[in-house]
Amino acid sequence: MTGDTRRPSKLADVARLSGVSTATVSRCLNTPDRVVPATREKVLKAVAELGYAPNFSARALAARQTFTIGAVIPTMENAIFARGIQAFQEELGRLGYTLLIASTSYQESLEEEQIRNLAARGSDGLLLIGHHRSNRVLDFLQGREIPALVAWAHNDGTAALPAIGFDNAGAMAELTREVLARGHRRIGVISAQTAANDRARLRVAGIRATLADVGLGSAALSVIETQYGFDAGGAAFSALMSQEASPTAVMCGNDVLAVGALRAARELGISVPNDVSITGFDDIEIATLVDPPLTTIHVPHGAMGHRAAQMLVQMVTEKRLNMPSVELSTTIVLRATLGPSPGND
Amino acid sequence: MTGDTRRPSKLADVARLSGVSTATVSRCLNTPDRVVPATREKVLKAVAELGYAPNFSARALAARQTFTIGAVIPTMENAIFARGIQAFQEELGRLGYTLLIASTSYQESLEEEQIRNLAARGSDGLLLIGHHRSNRVLDFLQGREIPALVAWAHNDGTAALPAIGFDNAGAMAELTREVLARGHRRIGVISAQTAANDRARLRVAGIRATLADVGLGSAALSVIETQYGFDAGGAAFSALMSQEASPTAVMCGNDVLAVGALRAARELGISVPNDVSITGFDDIEIATLVDPPLTTIHVPHGAMGHRAAQMLVQMVTEKRLNMPSVELSTTIVLRATLGPSPGND
DNA sequence: CTGAAAGCGCTTACAG
DNA sequence: CTGAAAGCGCTTACAG
């Protein structure tokens, strides 16, 4: 009960009650082994008695460390980021850090503003999504010496920031091989907007490269870029299917677009996978809930968020702006929406 | 470019460059109308030239205001909270506040810890979910004079904290009437754990009260409480359907449980709604994506998050610990999973 | 191992 | 309308 008094107690109160200096109290809390056990116990007792909790603003100002990590993500509205961010936040909490969150609503121009905002608020480190970013932002981060880690992507050595994620192009290439193996030769692609999104870009590139490998040129491919959302995916699917030579397989840049396509197919009376195959990317929970269940690429959301927290905190505590990138592996999950090409039986 | 120099510039730098005191610079930034235009322009020019951005930790320490709002939610992993929180965060950003986020992973005991943590970090206000909370936490909030707003629930006057949300019991009662109107007399309920969750409790209460209204006692009702998740919903559904007199309608406490039930029905070869009806609560996107589409209660996620931000910021700026609660209305969305009772045709 | 004191970068009565 | 100065609650060289 003493802890819940009107005025929150401060370091000086603890010092007074335990009969030591504020410096010693501070040491007990931050570097306990630099103080003899007897003193430490005395102080810790006073801390408990007063229900003392440090003022993080003061601590941040004095120590130039906030124990706060900022994340700038497109949106937390969908499962694609929510799961990873949840894991990120959980592990951060375990490590004594709190998550400051900002979103761009998929507006590229907002990212810089949010990064500057989180920096002004003293974020010890920043989690960013993907590598698409201006040099100005990169210079800002470097000038301020703020560790930043990119997630949902991999750094093959060409990117400026260390990354934890997976090989977007490689994963999609592998799935494309599965599609080709089933006889499909006219591929439709529903991609997220690629202009400010390297992940989307790489996924499409993975498809293109694999088609080229087997001698299929751009005539075999029909790509539509669309906004994020179930409805957008559905509309893109309709557009794709109303072409003269419509695709026998539609590969989608993410599960949300794929599920939207699936719903559109049902509405249009197009049978999946008998008339057309559909694939996704992400393996979010909805992939198993739709009927037929979605063939997609499994992404280790939880592990990525978890390790991202560990890596970023390590960068922060070791004051490193760089560190080896880590690539997580993805797996193809064959469910029911991918079947043989209808032209092939 | 001058803004991205090695050492971030501070207030004193701006003061020096513009030839005024730091007090005046501070006023230009915080209460611009308390300084004459000529001075203001001079200062703002220096701010721009130096790319000055205030250090929020220092500002927080001096002004006892962080422009940070904390939210403690069960999890951001699912759409039920993610949509509302996203809207909350967007509006917060518009109002100049940043969101500090913590989750409890549905562990009641963690909420207090997270609240204390966010308080220590100087949150100007707190967003909490539901009314279930110990007096100790309530006293802490009040003692520290931290404005707190409850979302996803309504305050009928008996709760300690102001709320923005909806009438969980009333909404479920209304849906129950729809179910009864279709001839159902044996109702199964799949509820989230009610022990630390007033929303779940109220939803079940709404069903119970409505059954009582028409003279149906507890014999007509079979309630299973389960953990959160699609799988949990499916398992509960199986359990319900394997009872001797199995229900003709299964009402679920949220859409996630309902969709899990729906999937289980498909796996068990039980036809929905021919053999059994299923209803949800929340109207998250997945409700329209499953087949058949889910009959559920539409909750205004976006509006709730949006208004929550406005209310909480108002409480913060007006230094009020209380304010009139607002009740948003829900609507029943009749889709395909609710049909007539099979015993009734 | 511990303390006195300066300093972190702001804000805000208080004067003028 | 503006400035000098104290103070917000911590941390951390620097002595001892």
A74 and A114 fall within a common domain: yes
Residue-level pLDDT at B205: 97
Where a domain ends, among A261, A278, A299? A299
Residue A109's pLDDT is what?
87
* Amino acid of residue A128: L
Indicate which CATH number applies to the domain containing A47.
Answer: 1.10.260.40
Is residue A63 within 8 Å of residue A124, measured between CB atoms?
A: no
Omega before A273 cis (within 30°)?
yes
Q: Quick check: is B196 in a domain? A: yes
Query: How wide is the angle at C-alpha A234 spanned by C-alphas A228 and A239, nearest 5°?
Result: 110
The closest CB to that of A105, out of B90, B99, B101, belongs to B90
A100 plus A148 within the same structural domain: yes
Per-residue pLDDT, A6: 62
How would you class B242 by CB atoms within 10 Å of its CB: exposed for 0-12, middle for 13-18, buried for 19 or more?
exposed
Comparing C-alpha atoms, which of A5, A51, A42, A48 is closest to residue A21? A42
Residue A339 lies in a domain: no
Residue A147 is assigned to a structural domain of this protein? yes
Q: For residue range B64-100, what is the model confidence (pLDDT) as tens digits?
A: 999 999 999 998 887 788 889 999 999 999 998 999 9
What is the band of A1 on the pLDDT scale with cuts at 50, 70, 90?
very low
pLDDT of residue B120: 86
A187 shares its domain with A235: yes
Find out whether B260 and B233 touch, Cβ atoms under 8 Å.
yes
Q: What is the pTM of this model?
A: 0.90
Same domain? B184 vs B174: yes
Decide if pLDDT at B188 tops 60: yes
What is the distance in angstroms between the Cα of A230 and the nearest Cα belonging to chain B?
9
A157 and A255 assigned to the same domain: no
Q: List residues bridging with A278 in a β-sheet.
A: A250
Residues with Cβ within 8 Å of residue A147, at least 6 apart in sequence? A124, A125, A126, A312, A315, A316, A319, A320, A321
Task: Name the residue among A218, A107, A199 with its Cα closest to residue A159.
Answer: A199
Nucleotides of strand D under 7 angstroms from a protein beta carbon: 1-5, 7-13
Burial class (CB in 10 A: 0-12, 13-18, 19+), B135: exposed
DSSP single-letter state for residue A291? S
Encoded tokens for B71: 């939210």
The reply to whether B57 has its C-beta less than 7 Å from any atom of strand D is no
**Do A147 and A186 lie in a common domain?**
no
Q: What is the C-alpha to C-alpha distance for residues A39 and A22, in angstroms, rounded to an integer?
A: 12
Cβ atoms of A173 and A208 within 8 Å: the answer is: no
The answer on B141 and B235 residing in a single domain is no
% of chain A residues with pLDDT over 90? 83
Residue A123 lies in a domain: yes
**pLDDT tens per residue, range B266-289:** 999 999 999 999 999 999 989 999
B120 to chain A: which residues are within 8 Å by CB? 53-56
Whether B275 is covered by a domain: the verdict is: yes
Chosen from A1, A47, A57, A83 to mutate, greatest number of chain B CBs within 10 A: A57
Give the mean model confidence (pLDDT) for residues A212-237: 94
Is a pLDDT exceeding 70 seen at residue A3?
A: no
- Specify whether A31 is located in the same domain as A124: no
- Rounded, the Å distance between the CA of B114 and C1' of D10 is 22
Q: Are residues A103 and A198 in the same domain?
A: no
User: Where are the alpha helices (H) located in chain B, listed in sequence order?
Assistant: 11-18, 22-30, 37-50, 56-63, 79-94, 108-120, 135-144, 168-181, 198-213, 230-241, 255-268, 286-289, 301-317
Highest mean pLDDT among A110-124, B56-70, B162-176: B162-176
Amino acid at A145: E
* Residue B37: other Cβ atoms inside 10 A: 9
Q: Is the CB of B61 under 7 A from strand C?
A: yes
Distance from CA of A49 to the nearest CA of B (A): 15
**Domain CATH for B311:** 3.40.50.2300
How many domains does chain A contain in total? Answer: 3
Shared domain for B244 and B192, answered yes or no, is yes
Domain stop point among B299, B318, B336: B299
A289 in the same domain as A220: yes
Q: Per-residue confidence at A2, pLDDT binned at 50, 70, 90?
A: very low
Query: Does any domain span residue B4?
Result: no
Instruction: Label residue B6 by pLDDT band (50, 70, 90).
Output: low
% of chain B exceeding 90 in pLDDT: 82
| Sole residue written with tokens 């008339």 | A275
Q: Is residue A24's beta carbon less than 7 angstroms from any atom in nucleic acid strand C?
A: yes
| For residue A231, pLDDT beyond 60 | yes
> Residue B80: what pLDDT?
82
For chain B, first and last CA: distance in Å? 77
Mean pLDDT of all residues in B185-196: 95
| Residue A61 located in a structural domain | no
Residue A237: domain span:
168-299
Find out whether B281 and B204 touch, Cβ atoms under 8 Å. Answer: no
Say yes or no for a CB contact (<8 Å) between B140 and A4.
yes
Partners of residue A119 in chain B, C-beta under 8 Å? 53
Span B116-149, pLDDT tens digits:
989 988 899 999 999 999 999 999 999 889 999 9
Shared domain check, B305 and B293:
no
Q: CA(B313)–C1'(D2) in Å?
A: 31
CB–CB contacts below 8 A, A to B: 150
Mean model confidence pLDDT for chain B: 92
Note whether residue B115 is domain-resident.
yes
